[in-house]
Chain A
Amino acid sequence: MENLFSRRTVLAGLGASAAAALAPARHAFAQIDDRPFYFFTDAEARLLALICDTLIPEDEFPSASQAGVVDFIDLQMAGPYGKGAGLYMQAPFVAGTPQQGWQLPHVPSEFMRRGLAALAESEAGALSGDAPAMDDLLTRLSEDTPDLGDIPAGAFFDELWKLTNQGYFADPMYGGNAEYAGWRMVGFPGAHAYYLSFVDKHNVPYRQPPMGINHKPGGNGAMPRPARAQEG
């Protein structure tokens, strides 16, 4: 019960009935660390992990998927953002200039699902997990070159990169930034912020460890993982 708050926060907006309906299925990928997904299929999650870890690879600090970014994106897709919160969806949908912004007829979760499917189909060769091939694929995506049918490659890259970046650095209660990986990496101390007596002390390192919104002493600010998935 101690962690009820963060769970509520993350799932807020799903609505009680919607949240209850999200009975997490158990997937092969999730079995690796006992995490069921709310939105992604096993294959989608594996593909996404490959992409995220190319965007933010492992060094002295964790890779994106090691820091929970796939879980973060999964929750985002299942939640209000993925379902199109803050998006005007009135037809007609007409292609515009880059300056006119998002004009796709899909909400983000639909766009993600279709994009991953199109990528898996048309770029199967590049998705072997081989790092140079993945680097090359994402470079081409970012340059809007691959033909992904009705999915604009550049916009799909932007969405993948935005979500990956958010997942690495957002408050850990959203499922990413595990053990404050992103915050420790840059030196951001988090949400418990009060610097009145410190701001004009110049060039002094601020040594407090990061604390997220849901931080408890000795904790990591993460949301509770859903209970071990049901067998069968």
Chain B
Amino acid sequence: MPDKTLLKIDVVIIGGGWTGLTAAYELAHAGQRCVILERGEHRHDATSFGAPEEHDELKYALHYTHMMDVKQNTLTFRNNRTQRALPMRRLGSFLPGEGLGGAGIHWNGQLWRPLPSDLEMRSHYETRYGAGFIPDELSVQDWGVTYAELEPHLAFFERICGAAGYAGNLNGKMRAGGNVFEGPRSNEYPNPAMKMPITSTLMGQAAEKMGLHPFPMPSANVTAAYKNPYGAQLHPCTYCGFCERFGCGYFAKADPIICVYDRIKEHENFEIRFKSTVLRVEKSEDGQTATGVTYIDADGQEVFQPADVVCMNAYSLWNVHLMLVSGLGTPYDPETRTGTVGRNYAYQTIAAVDAFLDDSIITNPFMGAGALGMIVDDYNGDNFDHSDLGFVGGGYIACKQYNGRPISYQPVPEGTPAWGAQWKRAVRDNYLHHADFVVHGSSMSTPENFLDLDPTWKDIYGRPLMRMTFNFPDNDRRMSDYVMNRAAEIAQSMDHVTSVSSINLAAAGNDYSVVPYQTTHNVGGAVMGTDPSTSAVNRYGQMWDHHNVFVFGACLFPQNLGYNPTGPLMGLAYWTLDHMKNDYLINPRPLMDA
């Protein structure tokens, strides 16, 4: 029994990050009384992220001061079902956030749209290459929503962020200098593309000579003074080099606090409660709907908050955890391959290429920004012919300059000892003469990569930890090798290059590890779709089994595309909110027949 039960509200929103604050903004303006429950504390760009104190690599980038605390809740991990999963005792491979703004505070601002074919992945590949083309080991499926349906919502989020870039496909008209592979855009980017440092410029020149199509990375690091549609004022990026893992005290990286929270915090229908951790979503007696949520408040009391609608806006992984501990939907069982909650967990497949440059090139790597770089998208998604390649998916190749922070950025040529005098000399000689490439690859879902509850370890509230079972599918290992080799070719053809080295974290024999940072792009586990046997929520983000529960975030992705997830997941958030405001709230019911 809870210590207290509060008065019923219209909408309870679990989590105060990008999707939660946006849901509150849109629903509060639609007349709904909204309460956000945020497990972390209040913080603000103006008071919490100012320079130079924020420019502390040790405190923020390496001691994870803006991130979640694994002492409260973590997960257990194993590569496959024959192993015993063990707790992820320290953050590493991915860095979920905590506190106002969530992980949206410490993101890089790499703001992408999905390719039209990404959203119809299974049908697209089967149509183009034949019914048997997708390897049997994969459980890839369509999202249930098309690019044309999402486009207005993707565009709106870009306006919320003041996105910087150059449209490569404006209403169907292809334009050199932008991404000619992207789906049609209804509008130009709100702001011009970022300035390019020497590394990205050299990469672009090399790629163009090879007949590829380089363009500046789409960025939520803002390039001009800008007011967003909610009235938030953003300022130009300073290229300070402290972006990913840091908050932005310059009001120059779009984040949920300045772009959304400041514009809703005083609305009469809006309330946010900090240090409020939701323990579970409560169900009605017949199990058909949710009645509200039970949470631990800032005073440590257990509180029941009744609500007509529950919005799940926690970080991707913790949405799935909350469903599992609340008994929402049916847990996925890998033996029988039935159930949907926890099914199709996927990640991102990362490879890196290092290009070392002669001394005439001075890169000044500390002049950086989270979304600063030149991109080649010719090997992403299905932008290239997969007929003879033996894999599906792809990735973008970025030559980026986002971080010259001296503990994390110590590029040395292949063969350099890992420490000692030679290492020291190599770090000194190469710091200002190196170009950093990443291959940011897709991650296909498989029946063996999934999330469920751990039988042994608990969080501080006594709930079972979630258990992650994940390894790279062979499909993705092949994909990553292929795109990495294309990236190495570009690097080798750059002017002034003296040597090139590369590493595929998903190379054959490399099991996925939770130790080295890869990306905070955990996706799937509560995927969307049109078939209740293979999706936890319908194409509107509404749970099949409980129609007043709406789910947001990257847990909806049926597999991961080759892009960063924030753009796509915010497009989906606005899509869901559109259907809530204009349909569901007027007539609450399942929006699709099961």
Residues of A within 8 A of B (CB): 9, 54-57, 59, 61, 80-81, 85-90, 92, 94, 96-103, 135, 138, 142, 161, 165-166, 169-171, 174, 182-183, 185-196, 198-200, 202-206, 211-213, 215
Contacts and interface: CB of A to CB of B under 8 A. Distances in A.
Contacts of A186: 406, 427-428, 431-432
B56 A171 contact: yes
Contacts of B74: 88
Contacts of B69: 86
A213 B239 contact: no
A193 B242 contact: yes
B237 interface: yes
A88 B197 contact: no
B87 interface: yes
Given A101-B515, A165-B407, A206-B364, A196 B86 contact: no
B137 interface: no
25 contacts: A56-B424, A80-B63, A89-B89, A94-B86, A99-B79, A99-B512, A100-B514, A138-B419, A161-B418, A161-B419, A165-B407, A166-B58, A174-B58, A182-B406, A185-B428, A187-B431, A190-B55, A194-B238, A195-B366, A196-B237, A196-B238, A200-B197, A202-B197, A203-B362, A213-B56
B51 interface: yes
Query: Main secondary structure on chain B at its contact with chain A?
Result: loop
Given A86-B71, A205-B362, A206-B364, A103 B86 contact: yes
Contacts of A183: 406
B88 A101 contact: yes
A92 B55 CA distance: 37
Interface residues of B, number: 70
A99 B509 CA distance: 12
Interface string B508-534: 000111110000000000000000000
A79 B242 CA distance: 24
Contacts of A196: 236-239
B360 interface: yes
Nearest to A182: B406
Contacts of A195: 238-241, 364, 366-367
Contacts of A55: 419-420
B456 A101 contact: no
A55 to B, nearest CB: 5
B91 interface: yes
Contacts of B364: 195, 198-199, 204-206
Interface string B50-77: 0111011110001110000111001001
Interface string B450-486: 0000001110000000000000000000000000000
B51 A56 contact: no
Given A103-B86, A192-B51, A194-B240, 7 more contacts: A90-B457, A92-B456, A98-B515, A99-B77, A102-B89, A191-B56, A195-B239
A102 B91 CA distance: 10
Interface string B396-422: 000000001111001000000011110
B425 A101 contact: no
B197 A193 contact: no
Nearest to B417: A139
A61 B431 CA distance: 15
Contacts of B366: 188-189, 193, 195, 206
A200 to B, nearest CB: 4
A183 B78 CA distance: 39
A214 B556 CA distance: 44
A138 B69 CA distance: 33
Nearest to B64: A86
A203 B360 contact: yes
B511 A99 contact: yes
